[in-house]
Amino acid sequence: MPIEPQNFTAEIDRLLRASNFEDAVSLIESFKSQSLNSLDTSDFLRLTRSEAYLKRMMDYHRDVREAADSDDQLEIVFLADIDATNDIDKCVIDNKFVLTDIDDSTMYVFPRLSDEICYSDSVKNIKIDTCSTIPTSFFRPVPKYRDDRIAVFKNARLSYISGSTKTIFDQNCRFMPSRSNYMARRAGSFLAQRSTAELDCAYVLPFPYSSRNYYHTLSEMIYGLRFVNDIPDYIPIVHDEDHFNLLSTYSDLLGIDRNRLINSAKLTGTLIRTAILPDSPAFYWDDKFFNYFRSILRSKYSNVDELSNSPKYVYISRSRSDRSLPFEEDLELKLKRLGFSIVHAQEFSHLQQMELFSGVEIVVAPHGAGLTNLVFAPEGFTLYEIFDANYFMPDFFLRLHHIKANYHCVISDESGKYIEELDITEMSIQNL
């Protein structure tokens, strides 16, 4: 029986809420087959990615069942989402931490009370050049930002399987998706090891959506360090895998004893009596997010002039990765003639990346995790963000309004012939 497009999304959501991944995969396959001639390329790619994700979820649940059946020290735990809790009394006294009880297992800590700001018309703060072509979908309402907060779990445990399914849950088997790996956010059930040890207290950094993604690791896990100096220095800091070696850099910059750092994989059999969980940032960032990372940079360089030798015009290249743009070689040659430095970020230490981006005036880059370093960029710099014609997102367009950036959206086909004409440093670049 044909599937009506208007019913497809609702039916997929219903199946996912019931953790019925097999039927969800079958529905996507049927819909793709039925709508093959009417789907545009971007919709087809999104469906294909969703199908692959659900198949991984099916494999995960199979592995969980098999592991629990073969080892009596492992158990399947069914979790409830508590991210949506809204009925919490918010309070602050002298700008200090104040605990607010929810029940006997969970508390929230409010470091400070800030006004909720709606950024529905946030794009008014971004200087948009008249020659720029910005998709109308970029001008979207942005949700109100919630107060910065910390959750405190009692008798918490960590999920057993590492990789993309790390999370932490309290004694009532509740967890917070915003502090969990991407598979953990949808899985609904987890494999946990029965407790064989106890830890009195731990500061648990958010598990990034993907620990192998630079953007998620920096903006979620590392940003979680912002309250670490407000807790006693004997409390250990629990973290996910650190594939980019960021924790050692920030420990040195923030004066944190590296001996406090504990990989969460070492605690899967440990009951944490009190787990302190800092919040992940707002998806489109906020002023506090920018100020935090900039304050770290300022603490190292009291005089910004020390960074005056950094290049001002930068192209973030992918030419040495498997995600290189098809026209990247020609693009780099033309940008070099305009005085741009070609940067391969993976060859820089994180500290060198901080220094580099703190002095930029113009950045040209493909959309991707490499743009996370713009958190160190100065106010009023200019970004030319390159997208494939089948995939473009407003994420950095909306994030950069906090520092009043000049934003240009560059949409290209595979040949590198741009839909628009660019004006960079008063020179016109056509058909790159």
Residue 15 has a pLDDT of 76
For the segment 55-86, what is each residue's pLDDT rounded down to a tens digit? 777 777 778 778 888 888 888 887 776 654 43
- CATH number of the domain that 414 lies in? 3.40.50
- 211 and 304 inside one domain: no
What pLDDT shows up at residue 143?
58
Q: What pTM value is reported for the model?
A: 0.79
Distance CA 175, CA 156 (A): 10
- Mean pLDDT, all residues of the chain: 77
Residue 380's φ and ψ, nearest 5 degrees, are 80, 5
- The verdict on residue 134 lying in a domain is no
Question: Of the residues 53, 70, 87, which one is the last residue of a structural domain?
Answer: 70
pLDDT at 428: 37
Residues 263, 322 within the same domain: no
Q: How confident is the model at residue 245 (pLDDT cuts 50, 70, 90)?
A: very high
Predicted confidence at residue 34, as pLDDT, reads 73
Q: What is the pLDDT of residue 190?
A: 78
pLDDT reported for residue 113: 30
Same domain (yes/no): 341, 254: no
pLDDT for residue 254 is more than 80: yes
Tens digit of each residue's pLDDT (9 = 90 or more) over 320-372: 888 788 888 888 888 998 899 999 988 999 999 999 999 999 999 999 999 99
Q: Note whether 89 and 227 are same-domain residues.
A: yes
pLDDT at 111 over 50: no
Least confident span in 91-95, 190-194, 399-403, 410-414:
91-95
Which of residues 283, 301, 327 is at a domain's end? 283
Amino acid of residue 188? G
Question: Which of 123-132, 248-257, 386-395, 405-414 is the least confident region?
Answer: 123-132
Is the pLDDT at 96 greater than 60? The verdict is no
User: Is residue 132 situated within a structural domain?
Assistant: no
State the pLDDT at residue 302: 64
Is 120 contained in some domain?
Answer: no
- Pick the more confident residue, 260 or 395: 260
**Residue 71, both tokens:** 């080892």
User: Quick check: is 58 in a domain?
Assistant: yes
pLDDT score at 158: 93
pLDDT of residue 3: 62
* Confidence tier at 220 by pLDDT (50, 70, 90): very high
Residue 4, pLDDT score? 66
Residue range 244-259: mean pLDDT, rounded: 96
Question: Both 279 and 298 in a single domain?
Answer: no
Shared domain check, 424 and 342: yes
Give which of 291, 391, 423 is closest to 46, Cα–Cα.
391
Q: Count the domains in the chain.
A: 3
Q: What is the mean pLDDT of residues 274-287?
A: 88
pLDDT, one tens digit per residue, over 155-168 is 999 988 767 889 99
Q: Which of 283, 303, 333 finishes a domain?
A: 283
Length of the chain: 432
Domain coverage including residue 416: 291-429
Asked whether residue 307 falls in the same domain as residue 253, the answer is no
Residues 212 and 345 in one domain: no
Query: Is residue 46 included in any domain, yes or no?
Result: yes
Q: What is the pLDDT of residue 398?
A: 87
Q: Are residues 270 and 382 in the same domain?
A: no
pLDDT for 295 beyond 70: yes
236-253 average pLDDT score? 96
Roughly what angle, to the nearest 10 degrees, separates helices 246-254 and 287-300? 70
**Tokens standing for 410?**
């560059």
In the prediction, which pLDDT does 264 show?
95
Q: Cβ(123)–Cβ(138) under 8 Å?
A: yes
Residues 306 and 329 in one domain: yes
Question: Please, which pLDDT band fits residue 119 given cuts at 50, 70 and 90?
Answer: very low
User: For residue range 378-427, what is the model confidence (pLDDT) as tens digits?
Assistant: 999 999 998 877 777 888 988 988 888 898 888 776 555 543 444 554 44
228 and 92 co-located in one domain: yes
| Residue type (1 letter), 3 | I
Higher pLDDT, 348 or 186: 348
pLDDT at 60: 76
Domain membership flag for residue 130:
no
Sheet holding 406-412, edge to edge: 127-128, 406-412, 382-388, 362-366, 313-316, 341-343
Asked if pLDDT for residue 293 goes beyond 90, the answer is yes
* Same domain, yes or no: 420 and 298: yes
* 141 inside domain: no
